[in-house]
Amino acid sequence: MNIQEVLSDKVKEAVKSIFDKELPNVEFQPTRKDFEGDITIVVFPMLRVVKGNPVQIGEQIGSYLQEHVDAVVGFNVIKGFLNIVIDDSYYLNFFNSITSIEHYGYVKESDDAVMVEYSSPNTNKPLHLGHIRNNLLGYSVAEILKASGKKVYKTQIINDRGIHICKSMVAWQKFGNGETPASTGLKGDKLVGNYYVAFDKAYKEQVAILVAEGIDQKVAEKEAPILLEAQEMLLKWEAGDEETVALWKTMNGWVYKGFEVTYKNLGVDFDTLYYESDTYLLGKDVVAEGLKKGVFFKKEDGSVWIDLTEDGLDEKIVLRSDGTAVYMTQDIGTAIQRVKDHPDVNGMVYTVGNEQDYHFKVLFLILQKLGFSWSKKLHHLSYGMVDLPSGKMKSREGTVVDADDLMADMTQTAATISEELGKLEDYNETEKQSLYKMIGLGALKYYILKVDPKKRILFDPEESVDFQGNTGPFIQYTYARIQSILRKAESMGIDISKDAKVTELHAKEKELIKQLQIFPDTIQLAAENYSPALIANYTYDLVKEFNSFYQQVSILGESDDQKKVLRVQLSKKVAEVIQDAFRLLGVEVPERM
């Protein structure tokens, strides 16, 4: 039991004993820096149960706690806030209990499985800045859920079919002259993306010619010859035409190889993959079944709908009058298929931009009405757009920022800033490049993940690589500084294998231990809220606390050997927690910087 749980029980006991009232819960907050105390009990909410002066109530409860809880050695009441002073021995015992725990704060995996979907790109172009936020969020939430004790499957559905794919294929047939990633030296996703752009260019030219010939704009847009060719190709693909399917497999294969490189560089991975070409017919049988049960209804034209007006939504189509599926049908079928494939899955997280908020409300509600028990544990990890300051790192088209280009630019930005700081004289070129990539990608990931997912982000590359403030490199630098302390401690022969014999703590040591104490709860909170931002900002607070400790307390220069041991142990544990917290964000930490 941690001190908060102990105090919660004892405060309820105090209220029962003194006032003969049942207190449902106790509200805590950290004690303000300008008051004496370690933890503060907020008295105001108790006034609903206990009538009286909040200061007097606080005094009575404080006296009861001091008498009945060994760890409580003092208290003071400021207005309606009861500040409790906890004995140093409590924090020392706590710290000694965690020093040798590997991955302190992580919980052992249970049988409670959840599937996290992220990335889910189209196979007609490379990944871009929006995909980066999506991948980083999905991967990090998966890792946080895992650390909170869940069994996690990471997945994506690859949008590998449809008219957009056929557009790239038609353009390659027309303008490609048989070129391949091998013959051009281009990544496969870039090559195919170029043909998607080429299609769009040719299509606009053809529309302009038709309009110049006197054809109405809307008609011209539907009858441009190259678009008709793409539509014809889609019909051939759906009919299983061998030549079309062979080209589709070849070009998609190029794209997958390109994506693999991007994912590897970004440091994300997947356990299972789903392809829209396999899932686009799923869900029709579920609709037929739901029609029988009265979950869906048929309109006069033969189309099938669900009426969600009583749930505050509207009517939603699930099958067209010609019997073809819509996206919703496919999503219903895919969700059910995933649980069939992984029977232990008890919930799913969909990492998809906030423009799809309504779609997921409808999807989850339909699955609930169809009676799937796991549907109550579906979550849409909705996130906002990422913008760049205008003029910075725009792609050749001037609109979409390519993911590979962005990662390369971040590495270059980190290199420029690191060279200016000039602390890498003893590094060879390979070590430098590895460090630049670690700093650049750490900066990118941290900057994106420290923001609440729902908020839109203005991503400033140079600001993200700043070595001061709430940035990835600032935290990485602190980790590297601690590694330097540990190397020096080892060279001095300081033995940190046994508990330090210390009875009193410096105020800064106590603050650091208090910060370490909340790491497990932070992981659980981040898992409950699907928010890497809680982990990122916790880590920043820990690092600020450590730097304050480092500046005000002598570590290796301390004359008392036992205090020195404690301070080295404390530094080591802080570094381990930084590394474990950053692992949940997909960020690496350097041994030297």
Distances (CA, A) of 394 to 118, 460, 461: 24, 12, 12
Selection from 106, 143, 116 nearest residue 347 by Cα = 116
Token code pair at residue 393: 């790192």
> Cα 382 to the chain's mean position, in Å?
11
3-state secondary structure at position 141: helix
Greatest CA separation for the chain: 95
| Concatenated DSSP letters of 15-49 | HHHHH--------EEEPPTTSS-SEEEE-GGGGGT
| Domains of the chain, earliest start first | 3-86 (3.30.1360.70), 162-269 (no CATH), 441-585 (1.10.730.10)
- The mean per-residue pLDDT over the stretch 524-552 comes to 98
C-alpha to C-alpha distance for 499 and 513, rounded to whole angstroms: 15
The DSSP call for residue 377 is G
- The mean per-residue pLDDT over the stretch 434-446 comes to 96
As a whole number, the mean pLDDT across the chain is 94
Instruction: Give this prediction's pTM.
Output: 0.93
Residues present in the chain in total: 593
Selection from 32, 33, 53, 30 nearest residue 43 by Cα = 53
- The mean per-residue pLDDT over the stretch 48-69 comes to 96
Check whether 424 has a pLDDT greater than 80.
no
Whose tokens are 């409300």? That residue is: 361
Check whether 478 has a pLDDT greater than 60.
yes
Percent of the chain beyond pLDDT 90?
90
C-alpha to C-alpha distance for 475 and 484, rounded to whole angstroms: 14
pLDDT of residue 394: 44
Q: How many CB atoms within 10 Å of residue 517?
A: 17
What are 221-264's pLDDT values in tens digits? 999 999 999 999 999 999 999 999 999 999 999 999 999 999 99
C-alpha to C-alpha distance for 405 and 459, rounded to whole angstroms: 15
3-state secondary structure at position 398: coil
- The partner residues of 381 in beta bridges, in order of sequence, read 351
Residue predicted with more confidence, 333 or 394: 333
pLDDT of residue 399: 62
pLDDT of residue 393: 43
Task: Please list, residue by residue across 421-430, b when 16 or more beta carbons sit within 10 angstroms of its beta carbon and e when fewer do.
Answer: eeebeeeeee
pLDDT of residue 390: 65
Let me know: does 338 contact 348? Beta carbons within 8 Å: yes
- The mean per-residue pLDDT over the stretch 330-338 comes to 96
pLDDT of residue 373: 94
Percent of the chain beyond pLDDT 70?
98
